[in-house]
Amino acid sequence: MNYRKATLAMSVAVAVLAMVVWDMRGERDQQAEKTARSDYRLQDFSMHAFNEDGKTAFSLKSPLLERDPDGKSLTIQKPVFVFPGEETGQNWDAVADSAWVSDRAREIRLQQNVLISGPVSPKGLKTEFSAAELSIFPKENRMQSTGRVTVNHGRSILSGVGLEADMKQRRVQLLSKVTARYAPE
C-alpha cells in the first residue's frame, strides 16, 4: 500500500515536471520567432539607386546594410550618401552613424552625428547641415528634422530646433529657438 502511494506521487511529480519543461520550451520558441533575421545583408558595398526617370536618385557606400523581411526597409551602418544636385550637377554628401531607408527609398532617416555638405558656391562658400537626426526625401528634393540643427554657410552659423528645407528652391527654414551669427564675406 505504501509502495502504491509512493509510485503515484512519483508519477504525478514526473507529469508536473514534464509539463513545466514543455511550457518553457514553447516560450523559448516564441522568443526565437520574435528575433527575425534580415532578408539579406551587404557588407563593404557601394550602390547607385535610380528613380522612375532612370536618373540617379542617390549613391551609397557602407560597411553594412540589412533588409527587414517584413517592411522591406533597410538599416545601414556608417552610410556615406551622395545626392546629385539638380541644376548645378554638383553633389550633396551626407554621412551619419546609421540610417534607415523606407520601402522604395521614399524616406531616408539619417541618425546620430549627421553631417550633410553641399557643393561649393561660386563665391567659394560651402553649406553644411549638422544634426542628431535628419530625414531626406529624395523624390521631393527636401529635408526635415524635428531636433536641433546647425547650418553653417561660410563663416555664418544658424542654429535652431526643427528644419524644413526645399533643396530645389534652395530654401531653408528653422522652426523654433533660432540663433544666428552672421559673418559677412
**CATH number reported for the structural domain that contains residue 46 in this entry:** 2.60.450.10
Contact 115, 99 (CB under 8 A): no
Local confidence band at 34 (pLDDT 50, 70, 90 cut-offs): low
* 102 and 169 co-located in one domain: yes
* 143 and 74 co-located in one domain: yes
Residue 172 carries which side chain, given as an amino acid letter? V
* 144 and 168 co-located in one domain: yes
Domain that holds residue 94: 41-181
- CA dist list (Å): 172 to 146, 164, 165: 14, 6, 4
Residue predicted with more confidence, 47 or 86: 47
Q: What is the pLDDT of residues 5-33, one digit of tens each?
A: 767 667 766 666 667 677 777 655 555 55
Mean pLDDT value of segment 140-161 = 90
Q: What is the tally of structural domains in the chain?
A: 2
Three-state DSSP at 19 gives helix
Contact 95, 80 (CB under 8 A): yes
Predicted TM-score (pTM) of the model is: 0.73
Mean pLDDT value of segment 83-100 = 84
Local confidence band at 4 (pLDDT 50, 70, 90 cut-offs): confident
Q: Convert 39-65 to b/e letters by CB count within 10 Å (16 or more is b).
A: eeebeeeeeeeeeeeeeebbbbebeeb
